[in-house]
Amino acid sequence: MVAKKKFLRFYVHLIPIVLVISCGSQSSDPSKLESNEKGEISVDSVLSHIQKEIHAIDSNTSFESINVDVFGLSTEGGEVLALIDGGVMRKAIVTFYGEMGKRTDEYYFENDRLICLFRQNFEYDKPMYIEGSTIAAKKEARFFFHEGQLIRWINPSNELVDPHSEEADKVVNSIYEDVVIILKAATSRKKEVFLNE
């Protein structure tokens, strides 16, 4: 019965994430962020807060973890590791496997909202199933969010991309589609999830 209550609490806490995805932003705790004399919150203040939150999440070793193998994400499948604190998702690490590489996404959440995505793409020098295959290239990108909106995107060339561009809109939509997959996998409480079912 206790496990069922924990699961229900976890699932209920995921509803705001889905609402943010489908309805846009909600207000955050303004006491955590600095504002200027006009009451505007600076991007630097938000980024500083996000960095502190990421550090706190990565330093915590007491999270409950949920591991799920997910099929239908990529050619070679994938896996989701969700880190849960009191029924609330704080971080999810998603790995997509392909024949010639893999992608690892680290999603960070605060108050049931996505605040950061750290994405790493690894390209192999030959197909992964051939003995001796090694990583030939590694590309990283970072996405920072505030109140459901992208506020900073650092691309693999370490350049800032306009968070209001058409390209950013497409990427953000794709990110939130992936978040829905994470939610489906983590809330399933199964060891394996087939997305085509």
What's the confidence (pLDDT) of residue 20?
A: 38
Q: With a cut of 60, say whether residue 145 has pLDDT above it.
A: yes
142/180 Cα distance (integer angstroms): 19
Give dist(CA 172, CA 10) in Å, integer: 24
Q: In the predicted model, what is the mean pLDDT of residues 95-113?
A: 91
Q: 164, 181 in Cβ contact below 8 A?
A: no
Is 2's pLDDT higher than 80?
no
Report the candidate in 114, 125, 189, 193 with the shortest Cα–Cα distance to residue 149: 114
**Does the structure show a pLDDT above 90 at 56?**
yes
Residues in the chain: 197
Residue 15 confidence (pLDDT) above 50: no
- Which of 17-31, 83-97, 121-135 shows the lowest per-residue confidence on average (mean pLDDT)? 17-31
Q: Give bridge partners of residue 70 from the DSSP assignment.
A: 78, 193
In which element (H, E) is residue 97 found? strand 88-98
pLDDT bucket at 21, cuts 50 / 70 / 90: very low
